[in-house]
A and B are shown apart, each in its own frame.
Chain A
Amino acid sequence: MRYAHRAESNYEYSNSTKESSDECYAAESMIPGVNTHPMTQIEPETSNLKKMSIITTTGLTKVYNADQVPVHALRGVDLTIDKGEFTSIVGPSGSGKTTLLNIIGGLDEPTEGKALIDNTDLTTLSDRKLINFRLHHIGFVFQAYNLIPVLTALENVSFIMQMQGRSSRECREKSIDLLKEVGLEDKINKRPSELSGGQQQRVAVARALASKPAFVLADEPTANLDSVSTAELLDMMLELNEREEMTFVFSTHDQRVIDRARRVVTLVDGKIDTDEKR
């Protein structure tokens, strides 16, 4: 079986040091200048990559049992997100946004249906493989930044690459590149407490990108930011989206984010109500 590749980014990552414990990560790109992504089936031409599905959910259903009363958080969600999309998932509270993000982030299991990420059905992975999958395929950005407070910006970004088993030198170099990318080259040795909310969220984005993920999942990333920081963060992410074809999936209530999203999926009562591409 051959494995797919993704277009090389200007912060190209080597897969050579990815953890070998999981057989899924054994593959290396045989195509010069093209970066591999494990577990993704090969596509013939890079021109088709924009159309390549990163996320595919089929009949996704999630039922919680709260006090013996079943609560239907998702009711058969069919959703496909292609590589390079900048998608907002919106909807009122209780509509199932978070549940959907949890499932496509490999943090929760559906009651029924499938969630294919990079052509891997998450529901078939063991707990250990799922953790490994998240480490290598999914970048997370959290509403409250969730940086490790005792580590500097550089160390926060490096940490995820260290978990992937990359060399210290590579981790440092790539982290500096990423922090430059998000405009924080002068803050690399600052701890989160020394950074503004917007800066912390930029570090969080750099961290999410550090694992060289298939896509970045962000839950209300601007909820704690002021309008200036929100605009700056969105500019940065849109630039990354355009330049690197990095796929972003947000859940948000923030109209400023919704306005700038290229695709807006609206959930109502656990179902997709509208799916607007702009």
Chain B
Amino acid sequence: MFVNILKLGWKNVWRNPARSGVVIIAVLLGTWAGIFSAGFFNGMLQDYLHKQIELSIGHMQVEHPQFGDLYNPKYSVSNSNEIVSYLEAQPYTREISAKSIATGLAQSPHSSFGVTINGIDVEADTSLAIEQYITEGEMIDTTSRNPILIGIELAERLDLELRSRMVLSFQDVTGEITGGAFRVAGIFDSFIDQFDESTVFVLQSDLNRLLGNMDAIHNIRVDMDDLATAEMHAEEIEQAFPGVLVKTWRDIAPDLRYTFDMMDLTLYIVMIIIIIGLVFSIINTMLMAVLERTRELGMLRAIGMNKSRTFSMVMIETVFLTMVGAPGGLLLSWLCITYFGNVGIDLSAFAQGLNQYGIGTVVYPSLTWSYYLNIMLMIALAALLSALYPAWRTLKLKPVQAIRKFN
């Protein structure tokens, strides 16, 4: 009998094709809109997160425990060569970058601004992420004298151009103020305004000479293949080298961690809001369907259909109504996310606003399979919940009243 009730439920869905069609399309579009917008925002946030990690913080950083937030240059990693060798031997390591760092003031004839000065070893670090964001000039190298790479925002703030001269002032390892003149070799645009404004790159040898310690390494950055294992490996490194502090990207940028953790929740909240809207639409439609069939349902009860069967019939009908549209919406959203995930969505018209938040102008939507699966389960649950009230109404039917003197 259950199979027959299933068949009847399916046929009932198509009893009023226009009305059912509207609900099915609403479910399809709602599912698509919810998932695609989730994919869009996920792509945007992933871009933001990965750029932040790629450009500035990496997955792990090894530092002297007292280097800390004050960036005092006297606290360098003493056994940096040994640590770098150890890390290079680890299978999880993808890239290693050892930098010297100072914080100071960048000055031009027009203005000055506080910056973080990164001393990079361009010969040892062959794959520096910043290189791909250079829009003017070229990467700094040892053939020039005191070259510097600055961000486009800093260039505008200090009114600097390629080959302009500028001065960096900062504290050396003895605590004395020191400084040097640099010439702009390249300008980068990472699309993260704050980074472009407050970060400069110079040759490690130039910075270390001014710091007064030619071997100074303040920060060893490690990029890995698997972001999730950062905590585990950080502990391993600390155990191998007790005199250093290893921080993961989550420790370094708690705001990113929070963003990362909140992202999933936010995506689900968006989808839940859409599903709630759909639930009311489905309940409304099914109530109409049940109320206009009061006589028929009363007849079925009169001729001997028990309550559980009429309840099941309406439940099944509602689930069918919902689950016809949902897979279509899922498929459509998957196609859209896959397509735009490859070609990207150009938002250059909003570049200025997006860059302030560190988001690129081309968004590549992306979504994990688990999200699709969870959404499908949520929609199925919503379908069942939507069905409860209309189905419950059938339990309240009195056959004699429903069919009114048999008719």
Partner of A211, one of B15, B300, B303, B407: B303
Q: Which of A117-125, A131-139, A194-202 forms contacts with chain B? A: A131-139
Task: Report whether B8 and A148 are in contact in the complex, using a CB–CB cutoff of 8 Å.
Answer: yes
**A108, A142, A151: residue with the most chain B Cβ atoms closer than 10 Å:** A142
Q: Which of B33-41, B339-347, B366-374, B397-405 forms contacts with chain A? A: B397-405
Task: Report whether B406 and A160 are in contact in the complex, using a CB–CB cutoff of 8 Å.
Answer: no
A218 to B300, CA, bound (A): 15
Q: Using A142-B299, A146-B403, A219-B405 as known contacts, say yes or no to A128 and B8 having CB atoms under 8 A apart.
A: no
Task: Report whether A136 and B406 are in contact in the complex, using a CB–CB cutoff of 8 Å.
Answer: no
Chain A: CB-nearest residue to B295:
A146
Task: Report whether A107 and B302 are in contact in the complex, using a CB–CB cutoff of 8 Å.
Answer: yes
**B14, B295, B306: residue with the most chain A Cβ atoms closer than 10 Å:** B306
Residues of B within 8 A of A211 (CB): 303-304
- Near B by CB (< 8 A), chain A positions 86-107 give 98, 101-102, 105, 107
Partner of A142, one of B4, B306, B406: B406
Residues of B within 8 A of A229 (CB): none
Chain A: CB-nearest residue to B14:
A150
Answer yes or no: A162 CB below 8 A from chain B CBs.
yes
Task: Report whether A150 and B1 are in contact in the complex, using a CB–CB cutoff of 8 Å.
Answer: no
* Category for how many chain A residues contact B: 20 to 34
Answer yes or no: B12 CB below 8 A from chain A CBs.
yes
Task: Report whether A107 and B399 are in contact in the complex, using a CB–CB cutoff of 8 Å.
Answer: yes
Summed over the interface, the residue pairs from A and B with CB atoms below 8 Å come to a total of: 79
Task: Report whether B406 and A143 are in contact in the complex, using a CB–CB cutoff of 8 Å.
Answer: yes
- Near B by CB (< 8 A), chain A positions 159-178 give 159-160, 162-165
Q: Using A146-B296, A148-B296, A151-B11 as known contacts, say yes or no to A163 and B405 having CB atoms under 8 A apart.
A: no
Task: Report whether B407 and A220 are in contact in the complex, using a CB–CB cutoff of 8 Å.
Answer: yes
State how many angstroms separate the Cβ of B311 from the closest Cβ of chain A.
Answer: 13
Answer yes or no: B305 CB below 8 A from chain A CBs.
yes
A162 to B304, CA, bound (A): 11
Chain A: CB-nearest residue to B10:
A150
Task: Report whether A159 and B4 are in contact in the complex, using a CB–CB cutoff of 8 Å.
Answer: yes
Residues of A within 8 A of B405 (CB): 98, 101-102, 219
State how many angstroms separate the Cβ of B91 from the closest Cβ of chain A.
Answer: 62
Answer yes or no: A144 CB below 8 A from chain B CBs.
yes
Hey, what's the 0/1 contact readout for B220-241 against A, CB within 8 Å counting as 1?
A: 0000000000000000000000
Chain A residues with CB under 8 Å of chain B are 98, 101-102, 105, 107-108, 128, 131-132, 134-136, 140, 142-144, 146, 148-151, 159-160, 162-165, 207, 211, 217, 219-220
- Given contact pairs A101-B405, A107-B406, A150-B14, a sample of 9 additional A-B residue pairs in the complex whose CB atoms are under 8 Å apart: A131-B301, A134-B303, A140-B302, A140-B303, A143-B406, A148-B300, A150-B15, A163-B305, A220-B407
27 A-B pairs within 8 Å (CB atoms) are namely A98-B405, A101-B406, A105-B406, A107-B399, A128-B306, A131-B301, A131-B306, A132-B306, A134-B302, A135-B304, A140-B302, A140-B303, A140-B406, A142-B407, A143-B407, A144-B407, A146-B403, A146-B407, A148-B8, A148-B296, A148-B300, A151-B8, A159-B4, A163-B309, A164-B304, A211-B304, A220-B406
